[in-house]
Amino acid sequence: MIAVLAREEEYAVIGEFFELFKTPWQRYSANSTFDVLICSNDRFCNSSARLVLVFGIRQQTFDQKNGIKVRSERSNRILVYKGDRIPIYGTSFAFENSRGHDLVDENTGEAIAVEFVSAEQVIVRIGFDLFAEIENLLTRGQPMTHASIPTLELHIAMLRDIILSYAIPLVEIPSAPAGHKLIVCLTHDVDHAGIRNHRFDHTFFGFVYRATIGSVIDLLKGKRHLRQVLQNWKTVISLPLVYLRIVPDFWANFSRYLVIEKQLPSTFFVIPRKGDPGANGGSRRRYRRAAAYELSEIRDEIQKIKSSGCEVGLHGIDAWVEPAKAIEEAKLVGAATGETVKGVRMHWLYFSEETPLVLQEAGMIYDSTLGYNETIGYRNGTTQVFRLPGVEQTVELPMHVMDTAMFYPDHMNLSPERAERLLDQLIQNCVRFGGVLTINWHDRSIAPERLWDGFYRTLLDKLRAAGAWFATAADCVDWFKKRRLIRFEDISSLDQGALTELLAMPTNTPPLKLRKLGGNSVDKPFYNSLRLAPDQQEREMSETLPAQAVSANR
């Protein structure tokens, strides 16, 4: 068991941190027993805990008593822990003491942690504010310079490793389902729904330029094959036949996505109304934000993707501004689908500090807006569905990969080979840490002039080979919400618990797993003292497993 001693105002963030690092914890109480005590900032007490971790950026009485001196104090420092680079966005201390630790400054090699070992206890003084860093990641997020680093997951991994390194076992519910190494959420922002909707507007002329002159430039730069250039030119020549409805509209790609994804569940975010650019959001090209299609024009396609097991969500225009707008837009999409809309992603990723509360008041179950327009990676440093501070119901499904961010000339402008290498790293991170990899491939991206369908097929093959569970956004959020509902009880008999299958999940959802790390490591459902939150019906565990140790999947 982990106990945490902190200021009262810190416990909201601490609670969310331990929903992501799903392991038993409690607030510090002098009457409780625990193996690990985490002290935050100036909170420190003598305890019988085997391991005490003292985080903070204030000179503490503990520091004075133990002769700890600060060598340097800096913000925006990069730390290294056993090969992992961990950005620290707030202030951090480096210590003079020679009693070093594995946690050091990347540039100077200075120790960011020092340890004190006695026969009964180990105390580690760590020179940054862990929970302030977590709050910063969940609210402000990371700059693009560190987008490739899953910083929040690395904080969890470091804390887990420190505890295990002192021979203290842990039990946790990983953020990947039993039988799978990661979750993949395929999403598609439906911005256009057809070239026929665009006649001599900026979208039309941009398409013609990129398909002709732009294709040749990309060929010379090695970003396209000659076959793709010829296909784009042929498509431009066919435009009159498309507008005359003699040949199919090559941007109407709902059915083609079903073929490419081979019945994998995915989520399509559709715009609620035609011709509405919405609130400004600071854009000087606001008029370009308006969609050129009506929901009524794609009603048949919507029903087809729904019958194939896919989800339809809201691609919000003004849903980020006020609850009434969010409710109105969700109702328009719900009328087209015949179902209540569960989630939203804002068009052009518009978002504000008030948006989470706006969406909660509007009754949205999830949002999937928080990602980058200009790059790929971890805006909030995590692979997990999380809850923004101050919000009780609506959760955030972070977006990690967007096709236009990778391939647009004014963004990353990647070659297919470079994009593949970066995505390989994101997949490896998700296999290591668990969680979900959320991908946004726009409706027109598998058609001319983009022709990113071959790359997308290759990506899907890699994700299948990596052991992914593919889920709609709503199903992915449901899985994480079920994980959040689990509470740990009666851990005093942890080592004597029978190996069991964990709580059953909905029929189409893989089960949770629970693992013990340290000692006789077990990576099987085994814990017999779990319950759901009080307002949920408790379900029996089934199928007792053989009681032998199994290597942990870390």
**How far is 533 from 279, CA to CA, in rounded Å?**
39
Greatest C-alpha distance within the chain:
85
Strand ranges, E, within 138-279: 170-172, 182-190, 266-270
Structure tokens of 77? 């420092």
Query: Structural domains in the chain?
Result: 2-168 (3.40.50), 182-194+251-478 (3.20.20.370), 196-250 (no CATH)
Find, among 412, 547, 388, 441, the residue nearest to 185 by Cα: 441
Is the bond preceding residue 489 a cis peptide, omega within 30 degrees? Answer: no
**How far is 527 from 510, CA to CA, in rounded Å?**
18
**How far is 490 from 356, CA to CA, in rounded Å?**
35
**How far is 113 from 447, CA to CA, in rounded Å?**
53
Give the three-class secondary structure for 313. Answer: strand
Residues in contact with 441: Cβ distance below 8 Å, sequence separation at least 6, in sequence order: 186, 187, 188, 403, 452, 456
Strand partners, 123: 52, 116
How would you class 138 by CB atoms within 10 Å of its CB: exposed for 0-12, middle for 13-18, buried for 19 or more? buried
DSSP 136: H
The string of DSSP letters for 452-482 reads -HHHHHHHHHHHHHTTEEE--HHHHHHHHHH
The string of DSSP letters for 62-87 reads HHHHTT--EEEEEEEEEEEETTEEEE
Give the pTM: 0.90
CA distances in angstroms from 59 to 56, 63, 71, 439, 487, listed in the order given? 8, 6, 12, 44, 35
Residue 541, Cα to own-chain centre: how many angstroms? Answer: 29
For residue 526, what pLDDT is reported?
34
Q: How would you write the pLDDT of the chain (554 residues) with one tens digit per residue?
A: 899 999 999 999 999 999 999 999 999 988 888 899 999 877 777 888 899 999 988 766 777 787 888 888 899 999 999 999 999 999 999 988 656 678 999 999 999 999 888 888 999 999 999 999 999 999 999 999 999 999 999 999 999 999 999 889 998 999 999 889 999 999 999 999 999 999 999 999 999 999 999 999 999 988 899 999 999 999 999 999 999 999 999 999 888 999 999 989 999 999 999 999 998 766 666 788 999 999 999 999 999 999 999 999 999 999 999 999 999 999 999 999 999 999 999 999 999 999 999 999 999 999 999 999 999 999 999 999 999 988 999 999 999 999 999 999 999 999 999 999 999 999 999 999 999 999 999 999 999 999 999 999 999 999 999 999 999 999 999 999 999 988 876 444 433 333 333 444 555 678 888 888 886 544 443 333 444 444 333 232 222 222 222 222 22
**How far is 50 from 123, CA to CA, in rounded Å?**
8
Structure tokens of 469? 């569970």
For residue 522, what pLDDT is reported?
45
